[in-house]
Chains A and B, each alone.
Chain A
């Protein structure tokens, strides 16, 4: 990276952070802008984690929702305050777990700091749980080739979902009932900072010797192995790291949603995230982040009107009714998949943006000549 590029990246990140802080200071926490930022930050993290696997290592995995589910449940189960457990686990005698990590930390570090540390610790546990499960699943599954891997990981996510709804595990998972009343961050900035730190780690990893080895596996597995890259070890590493962050993303999703059930973690969620990765550009971290914000911003805010009667001042309740937004959305996605296969960013990253803009300008000038 040249000095100019470093400056550009610094400025963009600083502006984003300041904008986020401004939103938090000026708008109430129930404002739609806060919701959008929270959700987009979570999606960005999960999309990047998926990109690490599908875009950079070339492993077409569709298990993301399953690992998010693990993270979400781990977070909920470990953070519900003890005195609320009786209410939450009302069908399971108050549940089997009688402690809450944020409360344990509060006793030592005081209320504010302790709760925050406890929440972060619970997120971390969720990530580690997801990583552990990924390690075990990875042993048999990662030997499979492209589409078989996709379907096997998809299947694993479904198995996990069934497992978490099983009544026999009710004292921990609350069976098919909701987990709720756990602590969450009400402002947007904690989500952005958390996701930002995680994504930064993934970027550092991708730019390291391990990231290069992942790309070698993606480009040509046989050559990678012949050049001394241990395929099973590296594939498992990518899978475990990706799942770790999907688990943390799941925990953050639980925070954002306020309640946890197994239902939202269906394969549809994985598809949604995959499509975000595709919109951003498979193999571009910046693209995944941008696409997450664009996707959530348009679907939660900008295009809301498509579902509720009035859009751009046009009032047509028969056309703009429930579901129109997603229909329009999926058509846009198909257009991207079919005609703009490189997505927003292709395989370019944030530091390349000034050059890309300059490139477009130059081409326009040449066209004018």
Chain B
């Protein structure tokens, strides 16, 4: 991606370290804003952000809409179930209709990979932010995961993320576990961690972690227990039965036995190992209750950091131009 300032955020593929750090540093300023008596800034006053979720989502939609409101933008939210989409209106027509209302940004979640790229072509002067497209990318999730890791590692060192830049990621061993094949989160996470200088390994059953994934610049493994020893950060993925991943594993129980972070495996983890999950969690499948609620787990922080990271993305894309 080219710099997101004044542009779109469609993918993290090809992102570089400077661009990522720009977002993370800006997000850190929005964390500070969160601690004020009034948690709102006027940065996007008078701007209009449309939140278009063609696929169900709770946390991402709420997180984006909260972010836009904290920036004082007006939010138009399309409830797809009650819209003309149900009558067969095309994506293009829906977007043109909404664009006619005068839009500055579109936050788009869609079941088709590439949908946000397509929308960015329909309405090039509107800033398009991909909130998850099919199995392709979920850039803000990748950014907030990296933000959360940097925040925790910086705290342990007694510094701030901004002061540490990307240094804490140098050689950091990040393990991504589970259904990598169907996961847009995995694609965004891999891109962001690699841009920051981390070593990334993926582990899962052969059907969900094909050997060719090495082309993404990651190590591929099928041995979870050995990989857990190796890892400093563990990113669990949701087994996505709605995308058919159930057909790729013999049974949920067997997947959990071989590739789930179970309470038995929890006891083998180094106490400093970080465990992440983008939610929603299938408790008892890829993650056990004991793990989700353990001190290793950053799940609550990930959710909390969603708002400042998305504020940074909206701010930098919508206001980051040179005033054309």
* A and B held together in a complex: no
Mark B residues whose CB is within 8 Å of A: none
Residues of A within 8 A of B (CB): none
